[in-house]
Amino acid sequence: MALAPGLRDPVHDAQRVFRAVMDALARPGRVQALTLTLSPPAPLTPELAALALTLADADAPLWLDAPLSASPEVAAFLRFHTGAPVVADPGQAAFALVSDPARCPDFAEFAQGTPAYPDRSATLVLALDRLGEDGRLVLEGPGIRGRAHLSAAPLPPDCAARLAANHARFPLGIDLLLAAPGRLAGLPRSTRVTEA
C-alpha cells in the first residue's frame, strides 16, 4: 500500500496547527477550529495525524494506544513523516496518541516530569467524536475567565477523577489535547476540572 501524504504545505500547515494547539492550551474550554486535508491510515484520525506531524520528531517520541499500534500502516506513516521513535513504554513518550479514549491507560503511567523539571512530561492527544463549549465538565484556572464548560465524548469513565488527580500533582502531571473532527480543545494540568 502506498504511503499516505503528509501535510500539504509543511511550513504553514504546521504553523496553523501549532497556533490552534497553543490557543487550545492557553484558553482551556475554548474549542479551536482545526480543518485539515490529511487522509492518514485508519484508525489514525486526521487531527491526531496533524498534531503528530506538527509536534513530534526525533527528539519527541510517540506512544500509540492498542488500536493504533495494531496497524503497521499507522506506525509506517508516523515514522516516515515525523522521524519520531515509536516507544512501547508510555513513560518514555513526549506525545501519546489515543484513538480509543475509553480505554486510555491511567494518566500516571505517562511521564509526569520531575519537581525540578516539570516540563519533562507527556502530552496526551485523545481522538474524540464530539467536543463542545457546553456540558458537564466545569473548568477553572489559568487561561479561563471565571469558568468554562466543556462537553467531550468519549472519555475514560472516571475522567473527572483522573483529571482531579492530575491537577493535584501540579506542577507535575500530563497535559491533554482533545481532538474531535475539525475541533480541538486543551486541558493543561493547571486546569481544575469538576463535574456539574
Partner 1 sequence: MSDEGHRGDARLPGHETDITPSPEPHARTEDLPAEPAPEPGTGYNFAYLDEGTKRMIRRAILKAIAIPGYQVPFASREMPMPYGWGTGGVQVTAAILGRSDVLKVIDQGSDDTTNAVSIRAFFARTAGVAVTTRTAEATVIQTRHRIPERPLAEGQVLVYQVPIPEPLRFLEPRETETRQLHALAEYGLMHVKLYEDIARHGHIATTYAYPVEVAGRYVMDPSPTPKFDNPKMDDCPALQLFGAGREKRIYAVPPHTRVRSLDFEDHPFRVQHFAEPCALCAARGVYLDEVLLDDAGRRMFVCSDTDHCEERRAAGHRGEGA
| Residue closer to partner 1 (CB basis): 35 or 106 | 35
| Cβ atoms within 10 Å of 13's Cβ, excluding its own | 18
| Residue closer to partner 1 (CB basis): 102 or 193 | 193
To partner 1, the closest distance from the beta carbon of 165 in angstroms equals 16
To partner 1, the closest distance from the beta carbon of 118 in angstroms equals 5
To partner 1, the closest distance from the beta carbon of 71 in angstroms equals 20
| Residue closer to partner 1 (CB basis): 31 or 104 | 31
| Residue closer to partner 1 (CB basis): 141 or 156 | 141
Residues that bind partner 1 (CB under 8 A): 8-16, 18-23, 25-27, 33-37, 39, 46, 54-57, 59-60, 94, 114-119, 121, 123, 141-145, 170-171, 175, 181-183, 188-190
Phi, psi of 14 (to 5 degrees): -65, -40
DSSP string, 128-182: -SEEEEEEEEEEESTT-SS-EEEEEES--TTHHHHHHHHHHTTTSS-EEEEEETT
Do 97 and 125 meet the contact criterion of CB atoms below 8 Å apart? yes
To partner 1, the closest distance from the beta carbon of 180 in angstroms equals 11
Cα distances from 70 to residues 21, 65, 125, 186, in angstroms, run 27, 9, 18, 27
To partner 1, the closest distance from the beta carbon of 188 in angstroms equals 4
Q: Which of 93, 111, 92, 117 is nearest to 173 (CA)?
A: 111
To partner 1, the closest distance from the beta carbon of 66 in angstroms equals 25
Name the grid cell of 48. Answer: 491526531
| Residue closer to partner 1 (CB basis): 70 or 168 | 168
| Residue closer to partner 1 (CB basis): 119 or 134 | 119
CA pair distance 85, 71, nearest whole angstrom: 16
